[in-house]
């Protein structure tokens, strides 16, 4: 849910403007995450590629796809705290190795499942 919110917020545009980024990369730590999140984002435009070794840094540290040379955004997620009724999650992203930004989500558990309660700008990295 947090990734979907953060990634969809990066698409923007009105459908007529060309996309600046050809791919989004998602840092994952396990093959299970790579497979399950890859299936979740399988129809994304631009594509979200999970757990890949295609990331390289070009001139000025810009994040690039090794295969195509296209610019990419790299996302990662960290669960900061978790309880039965609430969770705090940080979604980080960067386009170069010189810095990035983050969004801190507070999630609440309801009868219908998890819901975003609060979303705030986190520290830049």
pLDDT in tens, 18-36: 566 777 888 887 888 888 8
Nearest CA among 94, 86, 95, 92 for reference residue 104:
92
Q: How confident is the model at residue 13, as a pLDDT?
A: 47
Q: How many domains does the chain have?
A: 1
φ, ψ of residue 18 in degrees (nearest 5):
-65, 145
Task: Round to whole Å and give the CA distance between 57 and 71.
Answer: 9
What residue numbers bound the domain in which 43 lies?
A: 2-121
CA nearest neighbour of 10 among 19, 81, 18: 19
Instruction: Split the chain (125 residues) into runs of 10 and give each run's mean pLDDT.
Output: 76 54 80 83 80 86 89 88 92 88 93 92 80
């Amino acid at each position: 849910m947090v990734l979907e919110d953060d990634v969809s917020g990066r698409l923007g545009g009105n459908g007529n403007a060309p996309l600046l980024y050809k791919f989004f990369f998602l840092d994952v730590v396990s093959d299970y995450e790579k497979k399950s999140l890859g299936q979740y984002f399988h129809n994304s435009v631009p594509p979200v590629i999970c757990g890949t070794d295609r990331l390289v840094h070009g001139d000025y540290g810009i994040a690039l796809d090794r295969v195509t040379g296209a610019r990419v955004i790299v996302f990662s997620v960290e669960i900061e705290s978790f309880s039965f009724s609430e969770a705090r999650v940080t979604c980080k992203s960067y386009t170069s190795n010189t810095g990035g930004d983050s969004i801190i989500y507070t999630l609440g558990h309801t009868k219908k499942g998890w819901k975003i309660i609060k979303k705030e700008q986190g520290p830049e990295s």
